[in-house]
Amino acid sequence: MDEAVFADWALKICLTGLVVFLGFIVWNLGKESKAGKFGMFILFLVLGLGVFGFIFKNVLIEFFVLSK
């Protein structure tokens, strides 16, 4: 296994762990602040949009910039 393959796997595994940990933090924040169902929905929507933006950026780079 060369360094590029290891870095690719490590990035995917560590980012997945980070997103799960951030989900726990957001859930705990909503629970402690008594945000309710709508507040929890908004908190997780914002977290999900952030994750979606990061993934979408990587997809754009992979298909449009690196394909040339």
Answer yes or no: are the C-beta atoms of 43 and 29 closer than 8 Å: yes
- The boundaries of the domain holding residue 33 are 3-65
Q: What is the pTM of this model?
A: 0.73
Q: What is the largest CA-CA distance in the chain?
A: 50
User: Residue 4 corresponds to which tokens in the numbers above?
Assistant: 């590029």
- The domain tally of the chain equals 1
Q: What share of the chain is helix, strand, coil (3-state, %, to 5)?
A: 90, 0, 10
Answer yes or no: are the C-beta atoms of 30 and 40 closer than 8 Å: yes
pLDDT tens-digit readout, 1-46: 899 899 989 988 998 999 999 999 999 999 999 999 999 999 999 9
User: Residue 22 corresponds to which tokens in the numbers above?
Assistant: 């951030």
